[in-house]
A and B are shown apart, each in its own frame.
Chain A
Amino acid sequence: MSPRRHLLVVGHGMTGHRLMEEVHRRDRDRRWHITAVTDESRPAYDRIALTSALAGDGPARLGLRPDPCTRVRTGVSVTAVDPRSRTATLDRGTELVWDALVLATGSRPFVPPVPGHDLPGCHVLRTYDDLRAIRAAAVPGRPGLVVGGGLLGLEAAGALRHLGMRPHVVETAPHLMPMQLDRAGGGLLAGLVGALGITPHCGTPLHAVHAGPGGRVAGVTLAGGRSLPAELVIFAAGIRPRDELAAAAALPRGERGGFLVDDRCRTRAPGIWAIGECAAVRGRTYGLVAPGYRMAETVARQLTDDAEGPPLPPLDTSARLKLLGVEVASFGDAHARTPGAVEFAHRTGGTYRKLVLAGDGRTLLGGVLVGDASAYPRLTPLLDRPLPANPEDLLAPVPG
């Protein structure tokens, strides 16, 4: 039997975990010895379910069957990578040798550099440890604030409400969830969310965070002068890919960060791939799990087939979720950026459904659904194809 080769996975989030699973599943001869290293205190867990895991012990653990060929080391970071010697240095000074390296370092939360952003009482929400800190700091009945009205921000606001606080949400864009929703959908969402006890403030960036007499957060001011009380602040204002290893390893980065990779997730250095949120596929990063999983599968295939394999399929940026009980979905060219695109929308008191069609008025390019997303699984397979029925029939809720 040929000597086993070493696969080092830097980071063990959902995507890193999927990679290990895939390699394990395909590698019947156990040619790979896999080690994952993560600076988090726990191995991979369902990060998406983080906020909904407030009530219990913590989010579901993504477990791997125990296997002598796989190993996950927690609480350890990789500080340097050398493509030529094929080594990686750990924070304790240990060196690991690898035959293949997959970077799955994910993202870190972006904190706007406003005055007071690091006062006691300011938090981010990315890891399970963050969640525990927020849970410990939350005081029922006291005012809270979330900076960022996107997906994560709204979920964080929901978490604060669940913990008994009264949260406000501050968003720079003119409406909530600007990446997924259009103005009308975002407006409806704001109304629905407002009715659930979360107060959105859109079109207003954060100006500063202020301390109270005890030195902890007491309030914030927004651009334009308005003040809001806040004894707990969560920054959910975006994520940035964790590509700190790029410089020392001489790996090129994407324009907006991330390890630059091709459509097979290969970096410039042979033997080094990048997947998930830290990868900039042809320069573009993705903040959703589905593209990350496709990347993990692509790399696993290359590692176990020893062949180039097919490139990544078109990466899916559609999203469907229940935000504080409100259904929200967005898919395809939701913002009608395709030249000549036509938007057809129907808004009622509690729902907003919009289809983006090509100039022919028939080919589906994208859509936004708020309040009722039941049409989502019927519509997404029709992307880039002519609608087979009237949109009203496709959008109508299906009984049972």
Chain B
Amino acid sequence: MTTTTTTTTTTTATSSAATTALNTTTGATTGATTGNAAHNATAGTAGTTGARGAGDVLILGNGPDAVRLTRALHRLGHPGPVRMLPEPVVTAIDRRRRRVRTADGGEHPYGTLALALGARPHIPDVPGLRCPEGQLRGGVRVGTPLAGPAAGRRATTTPGPVVVLGAGPDGTDAALALRRAGRQVTVVHPGAHPMSRRLDRTAGELLAGALAERGIRVHAGATAVEFTPGKLTLDDGRILEAATLLLCTGTVPHTRLAAEAGLPVGHGVLVDSRLRTADPHISALGSCAELTTTADGPAAPPAWDQAEALAARLTGADRTAPPPVVRLRDPALHLAVMGSRQALEEAPDQITLHDPARGRYARLALRRDRVAAAVVLGLPRAAAAVTQLYREARPVPAARLALLLGTPPLRPGAPDSPATVVCRCNHVTLGELREAWDRGARDVAALAEATRATTGCGSCTDEVARLCSARTAPSGGPGGARSAGRGAREGRAR
């Protein structure tokens, strides 16, 4: 996923002081925050006083999410103190007294608590993946961003065929990258098509086709049942050669502390679009958090977006985290996915462009003219435009085909031309009907007699009737007035 920067997650427990791996406070001292002077708080002093002002931010976790939030707060000039506690040293969150307890017995009060607890890769329960001691066997690597780019690099240097387990965005990205590097790649996943949690069937099948075109073998609807060095056995009995097995089977958010503190937890710590948990003084962001409003399921939203939004809110601006957009990193495969599959399939207004010959597909699921969900494949300009409309919740312009094809919209066309065929059974054009009218045929029956219109299947009868009433209306336009006059003269002459 291009929107998450990957850095290694390392937790370091400092030897003595169990607090603050990083302290930053920014801005001049202001009277804005109560209590604490806006300077570095160090170990020991933190536990002495009682309630803290909201601007007194304590971040739990010191991984990439925590670092991003800290930097964002710094950038926005957050006036209050900002402290960070690595997650392993924390034993409990005391919400009532708004303080965090650590293993050394210390207590750290907070005004605002930001949970940046991170997540760990999910290791599936497949026999043979782990050594008896618990670590992953040789040849088995974790391929999600949490494992960092180093894992990807290690995977690409070990020679031999690679099997990627999982075809979500991470697995798909990894497969494409490995194939670009010239490796033999096979993807194994349980869904009907890759990224089946987000893509509809049409997009999924196009994506599967794109993978196949690049020589990536895909086993859909399959699960792994056993791994032995160099070989992966599937549930259908197939045995795949796997010098490297890359696990892209999702993440497990670190939610224990939140759950034990009584905060609602789903797959991750549940937060709204402002990243607030059920507790008004506690927020959560990054891979430990699960946004309830977008119902996106267990996918990691772009962390830098969240850090920005949370930091903005904590410094006084009210911002929601913009909804995530999932993109593949492959330079030639342009795929952008917004919203859940459910929203994609259930939103009331559906616009689709399907160009299978060129592998292009776009589906916009709109609600009140705004993008509720979308899939854009093979249309990079459209992807950019739709992404912007989605993130900014702006209405989609009226010229949708032009938007999707990336062409300029046409100016509205001319009014009905005389060549318009009104009665297809008898091939009677609008021009012929107008002429017949001019010559005195003033109702449907007379027009039928004169031109045969409506005497075939009859489905143009309404159309012809509308023509009559349009012509008899006083403001029928220049043509109408003229022909009425002429017709009246001719009518009498007849």
Contact = CB atoms under 8 A, between A and B. Distances in A.
B212 interface: no
B385 to A, nearest CB: 16
The 8 closest A-B pairs by CB, nearest first: A389-B413, A388-B413, A347-B350, A342-B355, A290-B425, A343-B354, A340-B357, A390-B399
B353 A343 contact: yes
Interface of A: 46, 48-49, 288-290, 293-294, 316, 318, 320-322, 336, 339-349, 359, 361, 377-378, 380-381, 387-394, 400
A377 B460 contact: yes
Contact of A344 (B353, B409, B420): B353
Contacts of B398: 390, 392
Contacts of A377: 420-422, 430, 460, 463
A342 B411 CA distance: 22
5 contacts: A293-B425, A343-B352, A344-B354, A380-B421, A392-B399
B126 interface: no
Given A321-B457, A340-B357, A346-B351, A393 B421 contact: no
A293 B400 CA distance: 39
A375 to B, nearest CB: 11
A320 B424 contact: yes
Contacts of A388: 410, 413-414
B354 A387 contact: no
B348 A381 contact: no
B456 A393 contact: no
Interface in B416-432: 416-417, 419-422, 424-427, 430
A12 B426 CA distance: 19
Contact of B410 (A345, A378, A380, A389): A389
A387 B421 CA distance: 16
B353 A342 contact: yes
B407 interface: yes
Given A346-B349, A378-B420, 7 more contacts: A288-B457, A343-B354, A344-B354, A346-B400, A390-B401, A393-B410, A393-B412
A400 B401 contact: no
Contacts of B459: 320-322
B360 to A, nearest CB: 8
Nearest to B351: A346
A381 B399 contact: no
A329 B241 CA distance: 54
B466 interface: yes
Contacts of B17: none
Contact of A293 (B357, B358, B426, B463): B426
A321 B353 CA distance: 26
B160 to A, nearest CB: 40
B470 interface: yes
Nearest to A320: B459
A290 B424 contact: yes
A276 B36 CA distance: 94
A18 to B, nearest CB: 9
B405 interface: yes
B459 to A, nearest CB: 5
Contacts of B354: 336, 342-345
Contacts of A361: 401, 405, 407
A345 B355 CA distance: 12
B402 interface: yes
Nearest to A383: B421
B31 interface: no
A400 B425 contact: no
B463 A344 contact: no
Contact of B352 (A49, A321, A344): A344
Contacts of B399: 390, 392
B410 A381 contact: no
Nearest to B349: A348
A364 to B, nearest CB: 12
Contact of A380 (B357, B401, B424, B466): B424
B458 interface: yes
Interface in B236-263: none
A294 B402 CA distance: 38
Nearest to B470: A400
Contacts of B466: 400
Given A381-B420, A388-B413, A344 B425 contact: no
Interface in B130-186: none
Contacts of A359: 355, 357-358
A345 B357 contact: no
A338 to B, nearest CB: 10
Contact of B456 (A289, A336, A390): A289
Contacts of A389: 410-413
Contacts of B350: 345-348
A348 B349 CA distance: 5
A323 B402 CA distance: 33
B369 to A, nearest CB: 12
A387 B456 contact: no
Contacts of A380: 421, 424
B353 A390 contact: no
Nearest to B406: A361
Nearest to B353: A344
**Residue with the greatest number of chain A CB neighbours at <10 A, chosen from B400, B419, B425, B460:** B425
A293 B424 CA distance: 10
Contacts of A293: 425-426, 456
A289 B419 contact: no
A6 B203 CA distance: 63
A48 B458 contact: yes
A381 B424 CA distance: 10
B79 to A, nearest CB: 50
A277 to B, nearest CB: 14
A49 B357 contact: no
Contacts of A393: 410, 412-413
Interface string B329-362: 0000000000000000000111111110110000
Interface in B298-331: none
A336 B411 CA distance: 26
A393 B466 CA distance: 20
A289 to B, nearest CB: 5
Given A343-B354, A377-B421, A290 B456 contact: yes
